[in-house]
């Protein structure tokens, strides 16, 4: 079983400076994969750059040209929270292209599953603007590529980043060819992802938001996946599953207030691997999004890839924080919100 990882040192060259989203994030993942021995179970390959035509599958020409122009003029701020450097446009093309390459490898049977360890991240980027450290929406470009060019019929995007994937949601909000599931902290940046946001037009019912309150942990997320995602996705039967794999819901992360553990991410991965084997012929691709604590990001990704590659089970970081894995720790507010999600989504899915 070949597990392919798209990765490249060129991703380090998008360097915004003293910023939460920086090259140190990939270095933390590389360190953890080596320390845990997970690296030995992976096959690595380099990305190919996306073209402007690839990006135009989901982005406006004005947005693509705007990022290119700022980058070629020496860089600057795209928004107050999103920095462009002289090489950012080129590296962002590699991020989108690397994600597309991972998807193609799985579709073509060159790998059973894959991961794209790319940056800058992408899930906040809408058709016409970047934000939240994101320039182009890597997972959305890859999903649109799979649907329009590789002739897949349906794609499931699972976003477990701390922050709601507002860009991805907006790009497929009116489409039934993408089922978008997001489990995220709320309230939190960017202030979107409400339970009642379920899609529109022919896409009504194909957006599922599970807004988690502060303090939610492993068991709360596992419940959401088991009670909402798995039955909905089993009924939907996508041809491929893409994961916006942010690791900032980790209890160590400085930008959030959730309590997931590295091992908890591994359990979520086990659920997704089993789902993929059941409904999508095993086609499953993980795409790096957020995650800003070196230990949480590195060991969280090591846990995900240890499970997804078939090497072993969930892993936990050194000196793990045990509270979120306690059998008695469940957030009462998270239970209430999950009940509201189920009540809303029962109109569309057999939950």
In this predicted structure, what is the pLDDT of residue 150?
98
Over 254-315, what HEC string results? CCCCCEECHHHHHHHHHHHHHHHHHHCCCCEEEEECCCCCHHHHHHHHHHHHHHHCCCCCCC
Whether 107 and 283 have beta carbons less than 8 Å apart is answered as: yes
Q: What is the pLDDT of residue 325?
A: 47
Question: Which has the closest alpha carbon to 241: 315, 300, 308?
Answer: 308
pLDDT tens string 124-133:
999 999 999 9
Lowest mean pLDDT among 60-69, 233-242, 324-333: 324-333
Which residues, at least 6 apart from 155, have a Cβ–Cβ distance to it below 8 Å?
A: 143, 146, 147, 177, 178, 179, 238, 239, 240, 241, 242
State the pLDDT at residue 125.
98
Return the beta strands (E) in 201-246 as ranges: 207-212, 240-245
Question: What's the average model confidence in pLDDT over 146-173?
Answer: 98
CA distances to 18, 113, 214, 271 from 296, in Å: 19, 23, 17, 20
The pLDDT of residue 321: 58
Q: Give the Cβ contact number of residue 129 at 10 Å.
A: 19
How do the domains of the chain map onto residue ranges? 3-345
Cβ(266)–Cβ(314) below 8 Å: yes
> Average pLDDT, whole number, for the chain?
96
Marked catalytic residue, from 59, 123, 124, 163: 124
pLDDT of residue 154 exceeding 80: yes
Summarize the confidence of residues 197-212 as an average pLDDT.
Answer: 98
328 band by pLDDT with thresholds 50, 70 and 90: low
The tally of CA atoms less than 13 A away on the side-chain side of residue 289 is 33
Lookup: tokens for 253: 């992360």
User: Within 10 Å of residue 201's Cβ, how many Cβ atoms?
Assistant: 9
Q: What is the mean pLDDT of residues 327-340?
A: 82
Q: Is the pTM of this model over 0.85?
A: yes
- The length of the chain is 351
Residue 269 Rama label (left phi>0; alpha psi -120 to 50; beta): alpha
Does pLDDT of 327 surpass 80?
A: no
The pLDDT of residue 315 is: 96
DSSP code at position 250:
B
**Run of H or E including 25:** helix 24-36
pLDDT by residue (tens digit) across 205-264? Answer: 999 999 999 999 999 999 999 999 999 999 999 999 999 999 999 999 999 999 999 999
Under CATH, what is the fold of the domain 3-345?
3.40.800
Cis peptide, bond prior to residue 197, ω within 30 of zero: no
Strand extents, DSSP E, the chain: 3-6, 43-45, 76-79, 82-84, 113-116, 155-159, 178-185, 207-212, 240-245, 284-288
Q: What is the pLDDT of residue 322?
A: 52
Which pLDDT value is given to residue 324? 47
Q: What is the C-alpha to C-alpha distance for residues 226 and 210, in angstroms, rounded to an integer?
A: 12
**Catalytic-residue membership of 124:** yes
The structure tokens listed for 34 are: 């080596």
């Amino acid at each position: 079983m070949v597990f392919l990882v798209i990765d490249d040192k060129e991703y380090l060259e998008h360097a915004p400076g003293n910023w939460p989203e920086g090259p140190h994030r990939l270095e933390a993942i590389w360190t953890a994969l080596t320390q845990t021995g997970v690296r030995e179970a992976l096959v690595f390959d380099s990305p190919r750059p996306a073209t402007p035509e690839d990006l135009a599958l989901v982005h406006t020409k004005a947005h693509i040209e705007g990022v290119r122009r700022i980058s070629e003029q020496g860089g600057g701020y795209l928004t107050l929270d999103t920095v462009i450097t002289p090489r950012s446009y080129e590296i962002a093309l590699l991020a989108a292209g690397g994600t597309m390459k991972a998807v193609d490898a799985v579709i073509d049977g060159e790998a059973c599953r894959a991961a794209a360890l790319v940056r800058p991240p992408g899930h906040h980027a809408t058709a016409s603007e970047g934000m939240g450290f994101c320039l182009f929406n890597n997972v959305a470009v890859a999903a649109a590529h799979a649907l329009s060019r590789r002739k897949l019929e349906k794609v499931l995007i699972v976003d477990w980043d701390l922050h709601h994937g507002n860009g991805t949601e907006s790009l497929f909000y009116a489409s039934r060819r993408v089922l978008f599931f997001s489990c995220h902290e709320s309230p939190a940046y960017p202030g979107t992802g409400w339970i009642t946001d379920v899609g529109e037009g022919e896409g009504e019912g194909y957006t599922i938001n599970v807004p988690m309150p502060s303090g939610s942990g492993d068991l709360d997320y596992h419940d959401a996946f088991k009670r909402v995602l798995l039955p909905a996705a089993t009924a939907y039967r996508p041809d491929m599953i893409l994961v916006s794999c942010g690791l900032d819901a980790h209890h160590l992360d400085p930008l959030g207030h959730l309590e997931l553990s590295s091992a908890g991410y591994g359990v979520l991965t086990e659920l997704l691997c089993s789902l993929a084997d059941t409904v999508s012929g095993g086609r499953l691709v993980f795409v790096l999004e957020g995650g800003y604590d070196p230990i949480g990001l590195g060991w969280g990704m090591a846990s995900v890839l240890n499970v997804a590659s078939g090497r072993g089970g969930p892993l936990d970081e050194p000196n793990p924080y045990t509270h979120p894995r306690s059998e008695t720790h469940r957030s009462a507010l998270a239970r209430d919100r999950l009940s509201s999600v189920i009540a809303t989504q029962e109109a569309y899915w057999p939950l």
